[in-house]
Structure 1
């Protein structure tokens, strides 16, 4: 009687290429990158309104590509790297060049240095984020917060003098002695370690969801009818929330140190499922 043949286990087939389900979110990320690059082209033609809008469109696309990836289960390391590259250009390089061509070129050496610092700090923030992706212990993230101001928000903040100039026409807002310090301030916010709220972690109570939708509709209408005034107000409102997010995170940290655990992490946000 012949002994039974023992078949060697087949080696797993190597995965070739990029899975089809990742194409859609990566295509959206690529569109965001194209939008950010196009803003530089419009800035070279001194079409400042279009240049700013292209950066903002890149921000909208950046906000939905991750959600699309999770929806179709198309998350990938490739997509994460592409997203960071897109963010570095759209929210780091593009705003820096726009502000330099619009205002900072009047103090050429100092202005170029500030533009470089902003773009570099944006890249450093994204590098820090990528380096922490695989870390299991992330105190800010586990509590529902971000570390520092995210790159899209940093781009929206740094261009606020441009919003004011477009809405009022006052040349004072174009002064490099105003734009320069503001650029440095936005750059520091991005690489700082302050806790800022993450929109993905906030959940509305059931009874106020309709009111929230109404607020979003009114906000969208305001942006369409008076974009520059509305964007200025949004930036100021966002900056006003930072002290509260820092205070909320400190409260969570004290609760954790007291041994009450991460279960209390959602309390300071004031929002419930």
Structure 2
């Protein structure tokens, strides 16, 4: 006979498991993972537009799960690990396979190497982020910047040639001799140490908030009427913003270096 289970005292919750408020953000993360994996499925069948849409949907869901978790106070270690695994697949493996099946498979060796670099470097970026999440000193984060290109933005940049190809259908945009170096370049951006803008830390001045709302409306209307042109323009704009983010962080770094030290730091060390 099976031994009877020990009785749990009334009023005490079982050790382990997830609280109910953590289910919603983890469900959003799981949906993002399903969307990223579905992109691979549509790429295998040659439905390139729907494959790319699935990766973009995964990016939108990835931006929502953290906000849902903070709103419900449902942050958990489980959710953080699930989010990293979902990002590695949705923004590393899925874009790499889509680009490989779309273009790089005509260069079997070098093309597959480029796809591997994109997938592995995305995983390395997420591993570096998880390793430094509890670090006391994070200069980029404390200044409101990210280290390297984030995984969702990296996936969108890797798919930028497809955005342009959807618009123009130019055969040269599918040439693996161009796509392979571009894929490796995007992978290097993800694992680089350059400072990039963190959109969550941007603060608008009061006198331009109405103009910002108007810009959002215009971008939304453009995305509805011309989605691939808008996606391509957004990718190019993000690339052009990287030098400005590096220069902006350089200014912040110089200001911090020139700031006077506090009285505690200026006092001589005790014996």
Q: Normalising to structure 1: TM-score of the pair?
A: 0.89
Q: Distance in 1 between matches of 2:195 and 2:107?
A: 34
SS of equivalent residue, structure 2 residue 220: helix
Change (3 A) 1:181 1:67: same
Alignment deviations for residues 116-169 of structure 1 (CA, whole Å, 9 cap, x no partner): 001000000000000011111100000000000000000000111111111111
1:259 matched to 2:259: yes
Corresponding residue of 2:33: 33
Change (3 A) 1:162 1:260: farther
SS at match of 1:75: coil
Find the aligned partners of 2:97 and 2:184 in 1 and give their Cα distance. Answer: 14
Cα distance change, pair 260–50 in 1 and its aligned pair in 2 (3 A): farther
Equivalent position SS for 2:75: coil
Q: Which residue of 2 aligns with 1:8?
A: none
Structure 2 distance, partners of 1:201, 1:214, is 20
The aligned counterpart of 2:4 is none
Greater shift, 191-200 or 221-230, is seen at: 221-230
Q: Using a 3 Å threshold, how does the CA distance of structure 1 residues 260 and 202 change in structure 2: closer, same or farther?
A: farther
Give the secondary-structure state (helix, strand or coil) at the position aligned to 1:172.
helix
Runs of 4+ in 1 over 4 A off after TM superposition: none
TM-score, normalised relative to structure 2 = 0.90
**5 Å matches for 1:55-204?**
55-204=55-204
- Unaligned 5+ runs, structure 2: 1-11, 262-271
Match of 2:264 in 1: none
SS at match of 2:137: coil
Report the CA distance between 1:260 and its aligned residue: 4.9
Aligned-residue CA RMSD (Å): 1.2
For residue 233 of structure 2, what is the aligned residue in structure 1? 233
CA distance, structure 1, for counterparts of residue 28 and residue 213 of structure 2: 25
Cα distance change, pair 22–230 in 1 and its aligned pair in 2 (3 A): same
The number of residues matched between the two structures is 250
- 1:3 paired residue number: none
Gaps of 5+ in 1: 1-11, 262-273
Deviation per residue, 1:53-106 (Å, 9 max, x gap) = 000000000011101111111111111111000000000000000000000000
CA distance in structure 2 between the partners assigned to 1:35 and 1:187 by the alignment: 21
Aligned equivalents of 2:170, 2:95: Cα separation in 1:
20
TM-fit CA distance, 1:251: 1.0
Render the CA deviation track for 1:150-195: whole Å, top value 9, x for unaligned: 0000000011111111111111100001111110110000000000
For 1:20 and 1:234, the matched residues in 2 are separated by 37
Do residues 48 (structure 1) and 59 (structure 2) align?
Answer: no
- Once the two structures are TM-superposed, the CA of residue 14 in structure 1 deviates from its matched residue by 5.8
> Match for residue 269 of structure 1?
none
Query: SS at 1:136's partner residue?
Result: coil
